[in-house]
Copies of this chain bind each other. A is one copy, B any other.
Amino acid sequence: MSSLCLSMEGGAAASTPTALPYYVAFSQLLGLTLVAMTGAWLGLYRGGIAWESDLQFNAHPLCMVIGLVFLQGDALLVYRVFRNEAKRTTKVLHGLLHVFALVIALVGLVAVFDYHRKKGYADLYSLHSWCGILVFVLYFVQWLVGFSFFLFPGAPFSLRSRYRPQHIFFGATIFLLSVGTALLGLKEALLFNLGDKYSAFEPEGVLANVLGLLLACFGGAVLYILTRADWKRPSQAEEQALSMDFKTLTEGDSPGSQ
């Protein structure tokens, strides 16, 4: 039933563009390397991770890279990757991935505030922390607003289609700001821990710089897949004109849902 519905939405949605799977695979390779390399950095040079010791701090970068970079990025890609699935399913997956990302990021936040409290360090003085709090609050608000408009039933079609481009823009912007904040945090960790050894090209510094470049590349890859015009699902106007009645009949979904 879903394939009938989608074939009504026009040719673009019914088939997957040839190059898209390769780009998605590349982005996932980058993302997984990113997570593995963050783990390797913390394990090899920062003593590993534990909750009840000084190593609690190390939970912070790992959670943030998994949650606010890798999972958040993947949540944005859901509409490109599952372009031939029913929109409702894709939407729920998109929302769920963002929930996982939020929860993991929250654990990462608790880790660093708890560590600071135990050590008696000041909170929220650095540019990294300011950007981080901003990202987290914006991400939470974006999730809430997105949920109320697109998943919670009842938002009128006109409101949804007016909010949709804003949701997409702010989603991409919050993701990019997350990547930027991760870069600031990495830089902070390096300057705190390595000091003068950083300029002597210590292995830890080189590894962390490569990790930083990978973070930027992952951000770029997700942005490329998101913004390529011919990889988008067909526009709402097309969808509405072509398949509103079919969608309502076959899926029982509200017309024009994201």
Interface residue ranges, A against B (CB under 8 Å): 121-122, 125-128, 130-131, 134, 165, 169, 173, 176-177, 179-180, 183-184, 186-188, 190-192, 198-201, 205, 208-209, 212-213, 216, 220, 223-224, 227-229
Knowing A122-B200, A184-B184 touch, does A216 contact B165 (C-beta < 8 A)?
Answer: no
Q: How many copies does the complex hold?
A: 2
Query: Are A187 and B186 in contact, with the CB atoms below 8 A?
Result: no
Partner of A180 from the list B130, B180, B209, B229 (CB cut-off 8 Å) is: B180
In the complex, the 6 A-B pairs of residues with the closest C-beta atoms, listed nearest first: A127-B212, A122-B199, A191-B191, A127-B209, A125-B199, A180-B180
Query: Are B173 and A127 in contact, with the CB atoms below 8 A?
Result: no
Query: Are A127 and B186 in contact, with the CB atoms below 8 A?
Result: yes
16 contacts between A and B (CB under 8 A): A125-B198, A125-B201, A126-B198, A127-B209, A130-B209, A130-B212, A130-B213, A131-B212, A134-B213, A165-B229, A169-B223, A173-B220, A173-B224, A183-B183, A187-B188, A191-B192
Residue of B nearest to A129 (CB): B209
Knowing A127-B187, A184-B183, A212-B131 touch, does A169 contact B227 (C-beta < 8 A)?
Answer: yes
CA of A198 to CA of B173, assembled, Å? 28
Chain B residues near A191: list those with CB within 8 A: 187-188, 191-192
CA of A188 to CA of B192, assembled, Å? 11
- 20 new A-B contacts, CB < 8 A, other than A130-B209, A173-B220, A184-B184, are A121-B199, A125-B198, A125-B200, A125-B201, A126-B187, A126-B198, A127-B186, A127-B209, A128-B187, A130-B212, A131-B213, A169-B228, A173-B223, A177-B220, A180-B180, A183-B184, A184-B187, A187-B187, A188-B191, A191-B192
